[in-house]
């Protein structure tokens, strides 16, 4: 039978008092960095959780990036709703954390941050594809799940959707409707994995139909400002052979394209067709029925809360989940003769 690990086990192995171990666990009081690292290394070695922490470890840290308009995003707000409902049902608390506050922390600092706040694990929202935070959390043995984005490193945990397949299906539909000059528009297309997967699905659909990728039709936009979209659309539609359709990368981009094209007197879908990844906001005209695919945001949020709790109790478990998107063919793609 394996020996039960206690605070005395940790203190004895490191060669310090139990009071010193307690200071490190609760992140209170002065302990030299060298001693703190030894204590944390030993805690991780035994996967030790203090008795009081076992009972109070009910907070879930929701780490938000690109959060200037977090709840204004239809997808993010529904994702948060799913998280909140599941957390409320399970008796957990959600702690919103600005990702900028954690980036740059060492694995040991992240471990102490989690312990001192009784956080069972972290859910990363809108994290960049190559965020160093994921590596630091992994090295610190801090449970985390990247939400709505897969990870290039398969040792990292994620819950996402079938972005590649859905984007390919929607673009394939546009091509079958007679469109061969299809542009793509988005912000952070190469920095967010879900966006990159949608771009790859767009490209794969063109290749499937032997349509050459036109670099002039790729609108990699630096931001979502109205002026940015206005200038980009003017350049795009002013070409000798403009696109007959545009595939957009997410809801915010779809709304901006719709508003910009409308302001420039382009009729949808008579003059230009639009399709992409879209989540209908409550405040947007219900008459716009985009050809689109939507991620089941509330389901993903609930799954995230359920799985981070399991992960906190089973650190060796891997979470690699992809859920099915909802595809609609709408009325925004014109059939060409």
Give, for 326, the enclosing helix (H) or strand (E): strand 326-328
Q: How far apart are the first and last CA of the chain?
A: 76
Kindly report, residue by residue over 102-145, the tens digit of the pLDDT.
Answer: 988 888 888 878 877 888 899 998 787 677 888 888 888 889 99
pLDDT digits (tens, 9 = 90+) for 167-204: 999 999 999 999 999 999 998 888 788 899 999 999 99
The average pLDDT across 40-53 equals 71
Contact of 274 with 266, CB cutoff 8 Å: no
Q: pTM, whole model, 2 decimals?
A: 0.79
Q: What's the whole-number mean pLDDT along residues 242-248?
A: 97
Give the C-alpha separation, 77 to 12, whole Å.
48
Q: pLDDT by residue (tens digit) across 64-100?
A: 887 566 666 788 888 999 999 999 998 889 999 988 8
The pLDDT, as a whole number, for residue 1 is 37
Q: Would you state the structure tokens that stand for residue 62, as one six-digit string? A: 């929701």
Question: With bands split at pLDDT 50, 70 and 90, how would you rate the model's confidence at 328?
Answer: very high
Nearest CA among 257, 178, 252 for reference residue 219:
257
Which residues sit opposite 55 in a β-bridge? none
């Amino acid at each position: 039978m394996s020996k039960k690990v206690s605070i005395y086990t940790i203190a004895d192995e490191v060669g310090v008092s139990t009071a010193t171990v307690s200071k490190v666990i609760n992140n209170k009081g002065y302990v030299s960095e060298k001693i703190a690292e030894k204590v944390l290394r030993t805690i991780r070695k035994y996967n030790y959780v203090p008795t009081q922490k076992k009972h109070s470890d009910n907070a879930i840290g929701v780490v938000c990036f690109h959060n200037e308009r977090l709840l204004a995003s239809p997808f993010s707000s529904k994702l948060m709703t799913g998280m909140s409902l599941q957390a409320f049902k399970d008796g957990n608390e959600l702690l919103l954390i600005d990702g900028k506050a954690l980036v740059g922390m060492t694995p040991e600092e992240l471990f102490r941050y989690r312990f001192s706040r009784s956080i069972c694990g972290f859910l990363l929202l809108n994290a960049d594809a190559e965020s160093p935070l994921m590596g630091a959390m992994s090295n610190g043995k801090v449970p985390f799940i990247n939400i709505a984005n897969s990870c290039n490193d398969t040792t990292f945990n994620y819950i996402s959707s079938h972005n590649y397949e859905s984007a390919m299906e929607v673009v394939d539909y546009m091509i079958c409707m007679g469109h061969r000059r299809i542009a793509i528009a988005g912000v952070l297309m190469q920095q967010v994995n879900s966006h990159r997967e949608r771009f790859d699905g767009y490209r794969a659909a063109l290749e499937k139909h032997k349509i050459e990728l036109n670099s002039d039709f790729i609108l990699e936009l630096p931001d979502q400002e109205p002026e940015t979209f206005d200038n980009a659309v003017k350049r795009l539609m002013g070409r000798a052979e403009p696109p007959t359709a545009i595939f957009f990368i997410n809801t915010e981009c779809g709304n901006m394209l719709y508003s910009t094209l409308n302001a420039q007197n382009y009729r949808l879908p008579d003059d230009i067709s639009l399709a992409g990844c879209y989540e209908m906001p409550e405040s947007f005209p219900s008459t716009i029925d985009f050809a689109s695919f939507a991620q089941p945001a509330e389901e993903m949020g609930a799954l995230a809360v359920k799985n981070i709790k399991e992960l906190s109790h089973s650190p060796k478990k891997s979470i690699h989940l992809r859920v099915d998107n909802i595809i609609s063919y709408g009325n925004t793609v014109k059939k060409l003769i």
